[in-house]
Structure 1
Amino acid sequence: MDDAALARVRDALDGHVPVGDLDDDGHELFYDFFPFVGPHPEMVKFFAQMRERGGGVGHDDQGRLVRGLPGGGVDVVRDAGGKPIGTAH
């Protein structure tokens, strides 16, 4: 990878260019380094606001499918085995 390509990866890691603008090698390098850099502050802010408003869906640390509730709570939609539970079916 040449210096210009490495510079594009650094710019993507810093949040100055979209990751989608990188070529395949750039994507690979970006995701190799991303855990060390951490998410961009604007991304952290966006997801914090989404959690506060509710509506975000994902898996918790127990493998359950959960939906965010306004104020930061969660509603368990499906247990880790895929069985529907809670009020959301």
Structure 2
Amino acid sequence: MKLEARLRAFAAFARQRSFSAAAVELRISQPAISKHIAELENALGLKLVERTRRGGALTSAGDFLANYVLRAEALLVQADLGAAQLRQSRQG
């Protein structure tokens, strides 16, 4: 299970604090990261990232959302691992 693309891009930016590094992490282009985050900002009506010449920084709203998105991402990883263990126990 994965978060939708806009949230994955935002989570990668929150971890990396860089559009370029987030792009490398997700193996997509830097403009795609920026576009996904801009679409998320538009959908929420909140500025999440303060863009600068050297990348960007999370705003207070971005920090708030990152806290939840990163935890949700971790929970989905745990759910995938648990499901894999259940499948394995049924086969074994």
Q: Please say which structure displays the higher CA radius of gyration.
A: 1
The TM-score, its normalising length taken from structure 1, stands at 0.24
Larger RCO: Structure 1 or Structure 2 (Cα < 8 Å, ≥ 6 residues apart)? 2
Return the structure number with greater helix share.
2
Return the structure number with greater strand share.
1
The TM-score, its normalising length taken from structure 2, stands at 0.23
